[in-house]
Amino acid sequence: MRVYVYPGSFDPVTNGHVDIIKRAALLCDKLIVAVLINSSKKPTFTLEERVKLLHCALADVPNVEIESFSGLLIDFMKKKNATVIIKGLRAVSDFEYELQMALLNKNLDPNIETLFMMASINYSFLSSSSVKELARHKGNIEGLVPDCIIDEVMKKFNE
């Protein structure tokens, strides 16, 4: 069974993430969307909220599982018998950082591959940070995040 992992903070999940997830899911038997618990970051959405938003956004993708993890991605990969890390790239600036991470992971476990997927042109400008900034100022986030989470995202910033 080909098990791939798409790690991220998903704070919140965007249509760019969903696009990468749906395309990556076609390449494997099971895709684990791994929500990172990063103690050095203070996410806007709680871990539970991020997982819930992902479940809503990915309800129609049958071979996707959503899990959270902390610690080293390589350790999580081994635990899940996963062999490929999926990373989405929007621009050259993403590539430099992601290449360093891929080489570090390859050094930790030579059996793990990193597969880079280019963002669709429609989403190459999109980030969770830009969605949060728009929502914070009551801007329109339609088309940037899945329809089923728009109200939750807007509510978070307008409480």
Please enumerate, by residue number, every residue annotated as part of a binding site for ATP.
9-10, 17, 88-90, 98, 123-129
Residue 68 annotated in active site: no
Active-site position among 90, 106, 130, 156: 90
Q: Tell me, yes or no, if 55 is annotated catalytic.
A: no
Known binding-site residue numbers for substrate: 9, 41, 73, 87
Q: Choose, from 41, 42, 93, 137, the residue flagged as catalytic.
A: 41
78 is annotated as an active-site residue: no
- The DSSP element (H or E) to which 55 belongs, if any, is helix 47-57
Catalytic site includes residue 41? yes
Please give the backbone phi and psi of residue 34, each rounded to the nearest 5 degrees, phi first: -100, 110
**Tokens 């990172």, residue located:** 36
* Annotated binding-site residue numbers: 9-10, 17, 41, 73, 87-90, 98, 123-129
Task: Give ∠ CA 42-47-51 in degrees, rounded to 5.
Answer: 140
Q: Which helix (H) or strand (E) holds 28?
A: none
Q: Which residues are catalytic?
A: 17, 41, 90, 128
